[in-house]
């Protein structure tokens, strides 16, 4: 008995990148091929024709399995091969070698409004799109009202979709695909468009589908929030190869960490004979070393440093930077209350607790410093520690992290009386 | 939950994705499964063709009417080409009815894949449906011309005969040949964009190589076998025979036409299947 929905085996896809000037165009003309025919025949005969094209591997030996009812996220930077993978699974393009076995009916939502014709009305497009996705007319008729209701386009059913707003377009497209009842749904970056309310609705529908109907979803997205929210497992692609696959939080951590996993605890060589760091580390609330944290748990930073002889005014401080190198905040031991003096000679162990619900999902670095501010810097450790925050504080917001600013503010909202003029 | 229970023991994959090498099977069963889509695509093509044009279907009637009159003036009045005894305008309109379907479907199908590149590069369905849908959409034009042809017959006092019952048969033959040509050109035009530029020119030459403005009887009899390698000869002459009752068509030529049409259809379909796997990468 097999509960595999999809198994991909040694899948590879290559494209030829042409170098000859004629072939540099996306398509050829019959004229070009006829003119170059003699030389091509010659080079084939002689086997010594110079190489005119280079092979580019969009996917290289990809193997993975997806179980029935699993929601698997596929992440990676642009050009990592995510879309090519979905295109192969959806049979739009063929693999060069290897293959995939699919157990169940596949539905795909690869791009917004594909299969929609701008001149046709919403009603006509529902039938067109449904048929393209493999539904019969009878099936579409059965689901028609549900689709229209989900897309919230009742009034515009007989309007050509070219007059639709982009939001309406997405809603309609998602509604058709979501009601297709596929056993395996391939979804590519469609939630990037559309308003937040609808994004939430789509995510809700997808959750429903997974929880109640046991369907399998492969979800490609740049939206890490959505990935963390939906997927139990993730595959990280990099240059056409699987860099990491496994639990979403682990994979996302690698993705956000740009590939290099930083150690949670770092030892330092003493930088000088006045004062210097020895060891620094990050810990979760259970005091286990960690580099990835849930947004709703605090991050505990601990460090030890040696002070050879008493240094009046010495402070230990740290700054947190996001992955773009922007400073998020600064904190120093002199801010501590009750006071935390570190001036005396000896080895000091200090701990700083970064409160939960402050940092947005993303990758962060910590710079450490031992100094008398504006007077003397004894030891500085740049990007000595790194960590990731996973999941959003305050729940899913529906848009990419960049638009959320730098920190999460626990703003209190309420109804108010009319403001005075 | 029901679907989980019924689907779980599936040990055989529903779908195996593997690179295909060489020639691929036609997969007629899949085409049949997608017949609803074919029908919807046909409807869409028909709707789009005349949407937002001032004359709408008027164009369908006007174009061949003017075309036939010009041909009648040049080849009938000035060049005085024979017409096997029929009034020249009726003779040429009859040929034009069949030919227009053939050439329209050829030209419209040839860029159909590029027109639908959005679909081809984003969703899976049997690609063959796109050029095949145009075959049916162009039938609308053909129907209009047939009606006009009957009006002409009335004007020139040609009574309808039982021979008209053969028209569906010739129509089928015409569609087979046109589909074959359409599959060839639509597949070629994805790879070679200049196909659509060359095609009008090619269609013009093909028209003069077919008995549209002149009767087959003008072609020396010993060349008839070679002449009939052109599948258009069979259905155009067949058409004329059904309408005017006079034609140089004999059984040999007719059989040859059937063979050629089927050859075009199957070679086109296999060629299409062979190149379609690269469509999404180049379109």
Q: What is the mean pLDDT of chain A?
A: 81
Q: What is the pLDDT of residue A19?
A: 54
Q: Which of A43-47, A119-123, B208-212 has the lowest mean pLDDT?
A: A43-47
- Tell me how far apart the terminal alpha carbons of chain A are, to the nearest angstrom: 71
pLDDT at A21 > cutoff 50: no
pLDDT at B175 > cutoff 60: yes
B 224-283 → A contacts, CB under 8 A: 277-278, 280-282
Cβ–Cβ < 8 Å for A325, A383: no
Cβ–Cβ < 8 Å for A129, A178: no
pLDDT at B21 > cutoff 90: no
pLDDT band at A380 (very low <50, low <70, confident <90, very high): confident
Looking at the complex, report in whole angstroms how far the Cα of residue B47 sits from the nearest Cα belonging to chain A. Answer: 8
Chain B residues whose CB is inside 8 A of the A183 CB are: 3, 7
Q: What is the pLDDT of residue A195?
A: 63
Q: What is the mean pLDDT of chain B?
A: 84
Does the beta carbon of B29 lie under 8 angstroms from any beta carbon of chain A?
A: no
Cβ–Cβ < 8 Å for A46, A224: no
Does the beta carbon of A88 lie under 8 angstroms from any beta carbon of chain B?
A: yes
pLDDT at A257 > cutoff 50: yes
Q: What is the pLDDT of residue A12?
A: 92
pLDDT band at A47 (very low <50, low <70, confident <90, very high): very low
Instruction: Judge: A213–B188 Cβ closer than 8 Å, yes or no.
Output: no
Give the integer Cα–Cα distance in Å for B100 and B106.
10
Residues in chain A: 421
- How do residues A217-253 score in pLDDT, each as one tens digit? 888 877 676 787 778 899 999 888 998 898 887 888 7
Cross-strand partners of A327:
A321
Cβ–Cβ < 8 Å for A388, A335: no
Q: Which of B37, B192, B281 sits opposite A93 (nearest CB)?
A: B281
Pairing of strands A376-390, A292-294: parallel
Q: Which of B1, B118, B277 sits opposite A114 (nearest CB)?
A: B118
Q: Which of A29, A88, A114 sits opposite B123 (nearest CB)?
A: A114
Instruction: Judge: A104–B8 Cβ closer than 8 Å, yes or no.
Output: no
Instruction: Judge: A92–B14 Cβ closer than 8 Å, yes or no.
Output: no
Phi, psi for residue A75 in degrees, rounded to 5:
-125, 165
Higher pLDDT, B4 or B88: B88
Q: What is the pLDDT of residue A83?
A: 83
- How do residues B217-268 score in pLDDT, each as one tens digit? 888 888 888 888 898 988 898 888 888 887 666 788 788 889 999 999 999 9
Minimum CA–CA partner of A33 in chain B: B192
Minimum CA–CA partner of A2 in chain B: B9
Chain B residues whose CB is inside 8 A of the A135 CB are: 36
Instruction: Judge: A136–B191 Cβ closer than 8 Å, yes or no.
Output: no
Tell me which of B9, B15, B187 to substitute to probe the interface with A (most A C-beta atoms closer than 10 Å): B15
Average pLDDT for A163-185 = 80
Q: Which of A90, A114, A214 sits opposite B4 (nearest CB)?
A: A214
ipTM: 0.75
pLDDT at A201 > cutoff 70: yes
Q: What is the pLDDT of residue A260?
A: 55
Give the integer Cα–Cα distance in Å for A172 and A184.
20
Tell me which of A86, A131, A180, A181 to substitute to probe the interface with B (most B C-beta atoms closer than 10 Å): A131
- How do residues B58-87 score in pLDDT, each as one tens digit? 777 788 888 888 888 888 888 888 877 788
Neighbours of B207 (CB within 10 A): 20
Q: What is the pLDDT of residue A53?
A: 64
Chain B residues whose CB is inside 8 A of the A95 CB are: 17-19
Give the integer Cα–Cα distance in Å for A262 and A267.
13
Chain B residues whose CB is inside 8 A of the A134 CB are: 34, 125
pLDDT band at A24 (very low <50, low <70, confident <90, very high): very low
Give the start-end residues of each E strand in A182-314: 184-188, 216-220, 233-238, 241-247, 265-267, 275-283, 292-294, 299-307
- Closest-CA residue to A222 (of A242, A236, A208): A236
DSSP of chain B: -HHHHHHTT--S-SEEE----S-----HHHHHHTHHHHHHHHHHHHHHHHTT-SSTTHHHHHHHHHHHHHHIIIIIIIS----TTS-HHHHHHHHHHHHHHHHHHHHHHHTHHHHTHHHHHH--S-TTHHHHHHHHHTHHHHHHHHHHHHHHHHHTT----GGGGGHHHHHHHHHHHHHHHHHHHHHHHHHBTTHHHHHHHHHHHHHHTTTTSS-GGGS-GGGHHHHTTSHHHHHHHHHHHHHHS-----HHHHHHHHHHHHHHHHHHHHHHHHHHTTHHHH-
How far, rounded to the nearest angstrom, does the alpha carbon of residue B95 sit from its chain's CA centroid? 14
Instruction: Judge: A137–B36 Cβ closer than 8 Å, yes or no.
Output: yes
Record the tokens describing residue B228, joined without a space: 């009939």
Record the tokens describing residue B36, joined without a space: 């609803």
Q: What is the pLDDT of residue B263?
A: 95
Looking at the complex, report in whole angstroms how far the Cα of residue A383 sits from the nearest Cα belonging to chain B. Answer: 43
B 199-228 → A contacts, CB under 8 A: none
Does the beta carbon of A34 lie under 8 angstroms from any beta carbon of chain B?
A: no
Q: Which of A15, A105, A132 sits opposite B125 (nearest CB)?
A: A132
Tell me which of B2, B5, B17, B112 to substitute to probe the interface with A (most A C-beta atoms closer than 10 Å): B17
Give the integer Cα–Cα distance in Å for A128 and A224.
33
Instruction: Judge: A214–B280 Cβ closer than 8 Å, yes or no.
Output: no
Cβ–Cβ < 8 Å for A385, A365: yes
Chain B residues whose CB is inside 8 A of the A97 CB are: 19
Cross-strand partners of A292:
A388
- pTM (whole model) above 0.90: no
Chain B residues whose CB is inside 8 A of the A88 CB are: 17
Does the beta carbon of B78 lie under 8 angstroms from any beta carbon of chain A?
A: no
pLDDT band at A351 (very low <50, low <70, confident <90, very high): very high
Q: Which of B17, B119, B124 sits opposite A100 (nearest CB)?
A: B17
pLDDT at A345 > cutoff 70: yes
Instruction: Judge: B122–A88 Cβ closer than 8 Å, yes or no.
Output: no
**Cis ω before A338 (30° cut-off from 0):** yes
pLDDT band at A46 (very low <50, low <70, confident <90, very high): very low
Chain A residues whose CB is inside 8 A of the B198 CB are: 30
Q: What is the pLDDT of residue A2?
A: 58
């Amino acid at each position: 008995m097999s509960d595999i929905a999809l198994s991909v085996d040694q899948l590879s896809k290559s494209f030829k990148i042409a170098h000859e000037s004629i072939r540099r165009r996306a398509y050829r003309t019959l004229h070009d091929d006829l003119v170059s025919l003699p030389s091509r025949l010659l080079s084939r005969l002689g086997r010594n024709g110079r190489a005119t094209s280079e092979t580019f591997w969009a996917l290289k030996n990809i193997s993975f399995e997806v179980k029935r009812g699993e929601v698997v996220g596929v992440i990676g930077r642009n050009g990592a091969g995510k879309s090519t993978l979905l295109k192969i699974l959806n049979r739009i393009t063929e693999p060069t070698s290897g293959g995939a076995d699919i157990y169940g009916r596949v539905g795909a939502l690869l791009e917004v409004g594909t299969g929609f014709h701008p001149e046709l009305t919403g009603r006509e497009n529902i039938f067109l799109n449904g048929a393209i996705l493999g539904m019969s007319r009878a099936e579409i008729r059965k689901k028609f009202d549900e689709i229209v209701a989900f897309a919230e386009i009742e009034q515009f059913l007989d309007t050509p979709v070219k007059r639709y707003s982009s939001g309406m377009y997405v809603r309609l497209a998602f509604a058709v695909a979501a009601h297709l009842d596929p056993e395996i749904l391939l979804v590519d970056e469609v939630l990037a468009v559309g308003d937040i309310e609808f994004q939430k609705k789509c995510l809700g529908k997808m959750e429903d589908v997974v929880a109640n109907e046991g369907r399998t979803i492969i979800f490609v997205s740049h939206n890490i929030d959505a990935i963390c929210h939906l997927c139990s497992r993730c595959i990280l692609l990099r240059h056409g190869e699987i860099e990491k696959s496994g639990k979403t939080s682990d994979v996302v951590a690698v993705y956000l960490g740009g590939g290099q996993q930083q150690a949670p605890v770092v030892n330092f060589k003493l930088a000088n004979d006045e004062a210097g760091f020895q060891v620094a580390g990050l810990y979760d609330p259970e005091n286990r070393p960690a580099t990835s944290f849930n947004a709703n748990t605090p991050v505990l930073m601990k460090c030890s440093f040696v002070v050879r002889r008493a240094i009046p005014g010495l402070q230990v401080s740290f700054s947190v930077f996001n992955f773009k190198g922007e400073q998020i905040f600064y904190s120093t031991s002199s801010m501590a209350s009750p006071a935390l003096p570190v001036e005396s000679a000896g080895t000091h162990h200090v701990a700083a607790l970064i409160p939960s619900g402050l940092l947005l999902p993303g990758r962060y670095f910590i710079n450490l410093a031992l100094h008398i501010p504006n007077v003397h810097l004894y030891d500085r450790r740049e990007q000595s520690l790194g960590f990731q925050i996973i999941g959003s504080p305050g729940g899913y917001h529906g848009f990419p992290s960049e638009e959320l600013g730098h920190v999460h503010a626990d703003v209190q909202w309420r109804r108010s009386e009319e403001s005075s003029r | 939950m029901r679907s989980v229970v019924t689907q779980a023991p599936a040990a055989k994959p529903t779908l195996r994705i593997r690179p295909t090498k060489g020639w691929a099977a036609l997969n007629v069963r899949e085409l049949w499964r997608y017949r609803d889509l074919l029908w919807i695509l046909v409807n869409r093509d028909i709707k789009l063709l005349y949407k937002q044009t001032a004359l709408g279907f008027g164009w369908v009637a006007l174009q061949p009417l003017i075309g036939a009159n010009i041909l009648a003036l040049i080849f009938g009045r000035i060049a005085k080409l024979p017409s096997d005894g029929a009034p020249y305008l009726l003779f040429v309109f009859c040929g034009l009815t069949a030919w227009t379907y053939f050439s329209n479907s050829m030209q419209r199908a040839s860029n159909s894949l590029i027109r639908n590149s959005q679909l081809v590069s984003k969703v899976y369905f049997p690609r063959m449906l796109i050029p095949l849908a145009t075959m049916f959409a162009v039938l609308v034009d053909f129907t209009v011309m047939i009606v006009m042809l009957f009006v002409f017959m009335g004007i020139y006092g040609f009574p309808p005969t039982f021979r008209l019952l053969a028209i569906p048969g010739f129509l089928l033959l015409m569609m087979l040949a046109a589909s074959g040509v359409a599959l060839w050109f639509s597949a070629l035009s994805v790879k070679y964009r200049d196909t659509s530029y060359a095609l009008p020119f090619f269609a013009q030459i093909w028209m003069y190589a077919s008995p549209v403005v002149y009767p087959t009887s003008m072609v020396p009899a010993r060349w008839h076998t070679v002449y009939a390698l052109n599948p258009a000869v069979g259905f155009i002459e067949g058409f004329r025979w059904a309408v005017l009752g006079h034609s140089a068509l004999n059984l040999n030529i007719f059989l040859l036409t059937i063979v050629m049409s089927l050859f075009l259809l199957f070679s086109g379909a296999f060629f299409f299947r062979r190149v379609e796997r690269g469509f999404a990468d180049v379109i």
